[in-house]
Structure 1
Amino acid sequence: MGIEDEVDYTATALMASRSFSQSDERFSAAYLKWLYETAFHRPAIVVTARVDGKKAGQAVILWQRFFFQGWHTVCAQLVDLFIAPEFRSPMLVRAIYGELRSCLADHRAMVLTVPNNKSVILNRRFLKLQLIRKLEIRIGMACPYNSRNVTSLFHDAGNTESTRLLIEHSPMSLTGCQPVWDAGALINRLANPLRRYAIHKSPSLLAITSRRVFRGLPVVLVAGLLPLDNRSAGDKEVGDILRNAALLHRCPAYLYVGVNQFLKVPGVALPTRLRPSQMLVQGNMQPENDGARDLSRFEAIDFDFG
């Protein structure tokens, strides 16, 4: 049991596929390398369990910059906890969580994470993580339309115009409790080798969208609606962005996951039976700390769903 300094991404991707019994496109060496090394604000910590010198399982800590009640900090997100089928045992689960607990204590880390349904129970039992809130999942339709109040374009490393729009996004004057993104961090976040993102700029918002498939249907994932200098956006401005995204992605259906106190996302709440997971945010804040439970903005771009 310990920290894995040199991750074999090919072997880890194969182990993840076997552990989850599915050939998810996320389980590729290129995707894991990006997620663990550059997707968030500093390289991840990979906690590894070994049996007779062979890697048997792991859990990963991603680091996300956060603004929390007037000060900047770094939060831990927990992802990719799995154990190879031939090594599964309650003892190994306890050992991995014991190492996670020690690592988080060493870093004095605040935890804010969106686990899968199985990990919700394990996080509560072994790390004493509490429910912060349940994220909204909304779905709707937008008529494709090119609003002159919105600049929309696809992002890639060589697109100087998209880079300019990201640089213009300012994380200054933050309030409440929310993730912090600057231009460099967003450029790294959008370098996902499996996805293509679009950027939309309106007077009050920088929006990030991506075409996805949900329940077999093409949708536009509204991954992030980042207010510019904490300005609130009106319904028309949000609608214009959704219509521009529908035109750019050639897809009228959209999906939104998250919470955003600066605006209202139209659409209907997705029924519980259709949700991809519970989408619960867990954390280690104290119950009496109401501000920790009042997330100003937390959306798909802020964790590994986006």
Structure 2
Amino acid sequence: MITVSEETAVDYEITARIATEAFGSKEVVFSAQRMKWLYESGFGQGSAIVAVFDDGKKVGQIALLHQKVYLDGKPAAATQLVDLFILQAYRSHHLVRRIYKEVERLCQAGGIRLVLTLPNANSALLNERFLKVRPFLSLQARIGVSFWWPRASKLRYSGLLKSMNEPEAIELLSGFVTPAAENGLHWNAETLFDRMNDPTRDYAVHATADLLLISSSRKTRGIRHTLLCGFFARPDAAVASSAVRELIRAACRFWKHRIFVYAGINNRLPRLPGIVLPARLRPPILVQLRDFDTDEPDLRFDRFQLIDSDFV
């Protein structure tokens, strides 16, 4: 018998194996270690898993990563949908509908106001049909080239997060806590530290007195580049364009990649880094949203960057 319910004791080895099989691509291999980190501590607010079982055998799931959002100075509970997969033999619109019904029930029972998701083309249609989410943001990929010499003189820090012990990292990050007046996902020093502790990826942090950048080395279509995962401004600071350029140079110097890529919105920056890539080369990243408080949401985010998602 097929059942759909919240999974309270997750076997990550089995879940990673099923996810890899369900995606059916040699380029997509799920890591049990990363899934455990992502679900349990990646966003600092915990998670819920809606799983599909066939007589006790797991055959599919969707994960809800709980987050905290500020809207006009007030906190709102949010969750981000990730990792929807069902083994090929079990796929049907009826089963997908049951999964989304359980997602909806858990959100309403848990007082979740906002649902966010960054879907691929197939998932976008399912999300819209079964969960009534709507397009919210379109994040354009931006690219640039940085010439990193001479070495910047105003940097307070530039290096791997893992090269610092936790107290040192927390002290550095504590100056860049998300202010309540800024609409978007809220990060404090501890949750931002946890977010960068992905066991399968390395992150570097670069900071001036007023601005912090999180970066990572990535490879896309054979081209290595510095991914600018997110900028965080010190509350009440006026961020200068020179500080943005200085941090980008520091990140590119650290990873030894001259090309950098950024996708997101951030109203604290004088301007977004780089130039927009044509859609034929990299379509914008769609962010969908549902507000359980209203059928006609009128929301704005001041900041939403790749670090706010499970994309990086």
Q: Partners of 2:19 and 2:54 in 1: how far apart?
A: 17
Counterpart for residue 46 of structure 1: 49
Q: How far does the alpha carbon of each residue in 1:255-286 deviate from its partner, in whole angstroms, 9 at most, with x for none?
A: 101111111123121222322x6411111134
In structure 1, the residue corresponding to 2:280 is in which secondary structure?
helix
Counterpart for residue 102 of structure 1: 105
Measure how far apart 1:101 and its partner are: 1.4
Measure how far apart 1:203 and its partner are: 2.4
Q: Partners of 1:99 and 1:18 in 2: how far apart?
A: 23
Counterpart for residue 224 of structure 1: 230
Q: Partners of 1:287 and 1:269 in 2: how far apart?
A: 32
Counterpart for residue 139 of structure 2: 135
Within the candidate set 303, 307, 310, 1:301 is matched to 307
1:162·1:199 contact (CA, 8 Å) conserved in 2? no
Paired residues in the alignment total 302
Q: Partners of 2:29 and 2:194 in 1: how far apart?
A: 17
TM-score normalised by length of structure 1: 0.93
Q: Partners of 1:184 and 1:295 in 2: how far apart?
A: 22
The equivalences for 1:157-172 within 5 A come to: 158-159=164-165, 161-172=168-179
2:262·2:273 contact (CA, 8 Å) conserved in 1? no
Measure how far apart 1:182 and its partner are: 0.8
In structure 2, the residue corresponding to 1:213 is in which secondary structure?
strand
Q: Show structure 2 runs of 5+ residues with no match.
A: none
1:26·1:32 contact (CA, 8 Å) conserved in 2? no
1:154·1:162 contact (CA, 8 Å) conserved in 2? no
2:88 is matched by which residue type in structure 1?
Answer: P
Q: How has the CA–CA distance of structure 1 residues 203 and 34 changed in structure 2, closer, same or farther, with 3 Å as cutoff?
A: same
Matched residues, percent identical? 35
TM-score normalised by length of structure 2: 0.91
Measure how far apart 1:131 and its partner are: 1.1
1:117·1:278 contact (CA, 8 Å) conserved in 2? no
Measure how far apart 1:167 and its partner are: 2.7
Q: Partners of 1:230 and 1:215 in 2: how far apart?
A: 40
Q: How has the CA–CA distance of structure 1 residues 23 and 11 changed in structure 2, closer, same or farther, with 3 Å as cutoff?
A: farther
In structure 2, the residue corresponding to 1:42 is in which secondary structure?
coil
Superposed CA RMSD in Å reads 1.8
The equivalences for 1:1-306 within 5 A come to: 1-24=4-27, 27-109=30-112, 110-145=114-149, 146-150=151-155, 151-156=157-162, 158-159=164-165, 161-172=168-179, 174-263=180-269, 264-275=271-282, 278-285=284-291, 286=294, 288-290=296-298, 292=299, 294-306=300-312
2:264·2:306 contact (CA, 8 Å) conserved in 1? yes
1:111 is matched by which residue type in structure 2?
Answer: V
